[in-house]
Structure 1
Amino acid sequence: MRVSFTKMHGLGNDFIMLDGRDNALPVLASPAVRALSDRKTGIGCDQLIVLEPSTNADFRMRIFNADGGEVEACGNASRAVALLHGKAARVETSGGIIDVAPAEIGARVDMGIPRFEWDAIPLAYAMDTLSMPVGWDTLENPVGINVGNPHVVFFVDNADDIALGQLGPVIEQDPLFPERVNVNVASLSSENALKLHVWERGVGLTRACGTGACATAIAAMRRGITARTVDVTLPGGTLAIEWDDNDRIIMTGPASESFRGSFEWDDFA
Structure 2
Amino acid sequence: MTARNSLQDLDGLPYWLMDGLGNDFVIVDLRHGGRLTSEAAACLGDRSGPFGCDQIITLSDHGGDVQMGIWNADGSEVGACGNATRCVGWLLAREQGTDATTIGSPAGPLHARLVGAQRVSVDMGVPKLRWQQIPLAEQMDDTRFIDIKLGPIDRPVLWGPSAVNMGNPHCVFFVEDAEAQALDRFGPLIENHPLFPERTNVSVAQVLNRTTIRLRTWERGVGMTKACGTAACAGLVSAVRRRLTDRTATVRLDGGDLEIEWREADEHVIMTGDVRLSGQGVFGD
TM range (shorter): over 0.9
Distance 1:18 1:220 in 2: 35
Q: Quote the offset at 1:6 in angstroms.
A: 0.5
Q: Select 2:261's aligned residue among 236, 242, 249.
A: 242
**Structure 1 stretches lacking a partner, 5+ long:** none
| The 10-residue stretch of structure 1 (97-106 or 232-241) with the greater mean CA deviation from structure 2 | 97-106
| The 10-residue stretch of structure 1 (136-145 or 7-16) with the greater mean CA deviation from structure 2 | 136-145
Query: Contact 1:58–1:89 at 8 Å: present in 2 too?
Result: no
| The 10-residue stretch of structure 1 (119-128 or 135-144) with the greater mean CA deviation from structure 2 | 135-144
Partner secondary structure for residue 44 of structure 1: coil
With structure 1 as the length reference, what TM-score do the two structures score?
0.94
Query: Contact 1:5–1:18 at 8 Å: present in 2 too?
Result: yes
Distance 2:214 2:56 in 1: 27
Cα deviation per residue 1:38-85 (whole Å; 9 max; x = unaligned)? 222221111000011124x83110000000000000000011011111
> In the alignment, does 2:108 pair up with 1:108?
no
Query: How do residues 191-210 of structure 1 correspond to structure 2 at under 5 angstroms?
Result: 191-210=210-229
> In the alignment, does 2:47 pair up with 1:35?
no
Task: Read off the aligned partner of 2:130 and give its amino acid letter.
Answer: E
Aligned-residue RMSD, C-alpha: 1.4
User: How many equivalent residue pairs?
Assistant: 262
> In the alignment, does 2:148 pair up with 1:129?
no
Cα deviation per residue 1:175-195 (whole Å; 9 max; x = unaligned)? 111000000100012331000
Distance 1:263 1:90 in 2: 27
Partner secondary structure for residue 50 of structure 1: strand
Task: Read off the aligned partner of 1:192 and give its amino acid letter.
Answer: T
Distance 1:259 1:69 in 2: 24
Computing the radius of gyration from Cα coordinates, the structure with the larger value is 2
> In the alignment, does 2:257 pair up with 1:261?
no
| The 10-residue stretch of structure 1 (132-141 or 121-130) with the greater mean CA deviation from structure 2 | 132-141
Cα deviation per residue 1:100-126 (whole Å; 9 max; x = unaligned)? 122225100000000111010000010
Q: Select 1:25's aligned residue among 8, 18, 34.
A: 34
Q: Quote the offset at 1:4 in angstroms.
A: 1.9
Task: Read off the aligned partner of 1:222 and give its amino acid letter.
Answer: R
Query: Contact 2:144–2:162 at 8 Å: present in 1 too?
Result: yes
Distance 1:145 1:190 in 2: 22
Distance 1:168 1:40 in 2: 22
Distance 2:68 2:102 in 1: 10
> In the alignment, does 2:103 pair up with 1:91?
yes
Partner secondary structure for residue 199 of structure 2: coil
With structure 2 as the length reference, what TM-score do the two structures score?
0.89
Cα deviation per residue 1:200-228 (whole Å; 9 max; x = unaligned)? 00000000000000000010011100011
Q: Select 1:70's aligned residue among 45, 67, 77.
A: 77
Query: Contact 1:136–1:171 at 8 Å: present in 2 too?
Result: no
Distance 1:257 1:136 in 2: 39
Cα deviation per residue 1:224-260 (whole Å; 9 max; x = unaligned)? 0001100000000000000112100000000110011
Query: Contact 2:13–2:29 at 8 Å: present in 1 too?
Result: no
Q: Select 2:66's aligned residue among 49, 59, 69.
A: 59
Identical residues among aligned pairs (%): 45
| The 10-residue stretch of structure 1 (226-235 or 28-37) with the greater mean CA deviation from structure 2 | 28-37
What residue is the counterpart of 2:158 in the other structure?
139
Distance 2:280 2:161 in 1: 40
What residue is the counterpart of 1:117 in the other structure?
130
What residue is the counterpart of 1:50 in the other structure?
58
Higher strand share: 1
**Structure 2 stretches lacking a partner, 5+ long:** 1-10, 152-156
